[in-house]
Structure 1
């Protein structure tokens, strides 16, 4: 209950801060829409030259892309640690974090919270509704619960991978460019997994499981029965990778010796 209370207090202060700069909030929202529009245009351009992409229609890929945006938005809102190495290790702010009676990872997550990123999830839901109407998909009442579980599982997959990468900084405090590279790789999860060769499919499923953020859970709603087993593994993979990330984080904190001079 203490951590829940701290979480909502941080959230309240964050909202107050953002409301002081409403124009910046609007600019961020518009920028996000423009970024998503570019990705949508890319998909439309591809399907301007073909009717199917390895058996997937344009609307099915749009649905996958829309779904992908929702867990990605949750991840972006609560696990925005792409600059952990630069800010907390190189600049020494980790020393400040470790003096407080709250778990260091939880504290950093709260400090780097960006709730406006959740607006990207709204965009994703709109795209899903559009694609669903075009595909004439039929949903059941329990699909809402399945959707929430899949979204949380996908967000935890992202969080697990990127927190694990952040822990490298505890062993090597040099500036690293691995985070931007991994963000680019993660984008592969927004497209059908079977358009890639077998090696890439294996990587995106078991090593860097970004396929569980978009294509696998989407396959359940699209009625792709051959992918159902993978779809229901989404929350399991999310929990496994997040638990591994927390374990690595705790080990890294014990290894940490301070910024020094």
Structure 2
């Protein structure tokens, strides 16, 4: 209960802070929406030159992109740890974190959350409904529950990868970070993996499983039965990778040397 109460207290303080600078918050939201719009336009431009992409039509690709935006928005809101090395290791703020009784990762997540990124969920859902209507997809009564489970699985997949990357900072305090590059690699998960060669497909499935954020869970709603096995593995992969990431983080904390000389 202490963790739950702290979560809502942080959210309350965050909203007070952000609403003090409303224009900045609105500009960030508009910037995110513009970025998502540019990616959607890119997909539309590609399909101006072809009707299918390795058996996937335009609306199916758009649907996958819309689904991808939902777990990504949740991830970006609560696991915004791209600057962990610079802020908490190099500048020594990890010292402050470790003096408190809550789990260190939980504190970092609360301090770095950006709730305005949740607006990306609205964009993603709108894109999904648009593409789904064009495809004539039917929805069963239990599909919303499956949707939530698959989205959470995708969130944990994304979060686990970046927690692992942030944990590297405990062993190496170099300012150089591969996290920005990993953000770009993560974008591959919003396209069908069978358009890539076998090596990339294997990496996106089992090494850096970004495919479980977009294409695999989307396959269930697109009635792609050949991908159902992967779709239902999404929460399992998310849970396994997240547990591993927490273990690596906890081990890394024991190697933290502090910010002193």
TM-score higher than 0.5: yes
What TM-score does the superposition give when structure 1 sets the normalisation length? 0.99
Q: Which residue of 1 aligns with 2:98?
A: 98
CA RMSD of aligned residues (A): 0.6
What TM-score does the superposition give when structure 2 sets the normalisation length? 0.99
SS of structure 1 residue aligned to 2:18 = helix
Query: 1:185 Cα deviation (Å)?
Result: 0.4
Deviations 1:67-86 (A, max 9, x none): 00000000000000000000
Q: Which residue of 1 aligns with 2:19?
A: 19
Q: 1:45 and 2:26 equivalent? A: no
SS of structure 2 residue aligned to 1:181 = helix
Q: What 5-or-longer segments of structure 2 have no aligned partner? A: none
SS of structure 2 residue aligned to 1:125 = helix
Moved >3 Å (runs of 4+): none
**Matched ranges for 1:64-103 at <5 A:** 64-103=64-103
Deviations 1:196-250 (A, max 9, x none): 0000000000000000000000000000000000000000010011100100000
Q: Which residue of 1 aligns with 2:182?
A: 182
Query: How far apart, in 2, do the equivalents of 1:249 and 1:158 lie?
Result: 15
**Matched ranges for 1:20-35 at <5 A:** 20-35=20-35
Q: Which residue of 1 aligns with 2:160?
A: 160
Query: How far apart, in 2, do the equivalents of 1:189 and 1:75 lie?
Result: 14
Query: 1:177 Cα deviation (Å)?
Result: 2.6
Q: What 5-or-longer segments of structure 1 have no aligned partner? A: none
Q: Which residue of 2 aligns with 1:253?
A: 253
Query: 1:260 Cα deviation (Å)?
Result: 1.7
Aligned residues: 261
Q: Which residue of 2 aligns with 1:135?
A: 135
Query: How far apart, in 1, do the equivalents of 2:80 and 2:139 lie?
Result: 33
Query: How far apart, in 1, do the equivalents of 2:141 and 2:4 lie?
Result: 29
Query: How far apart, in 2, do the equivalents of 1:135 and 1:6 lie?
Result: 43
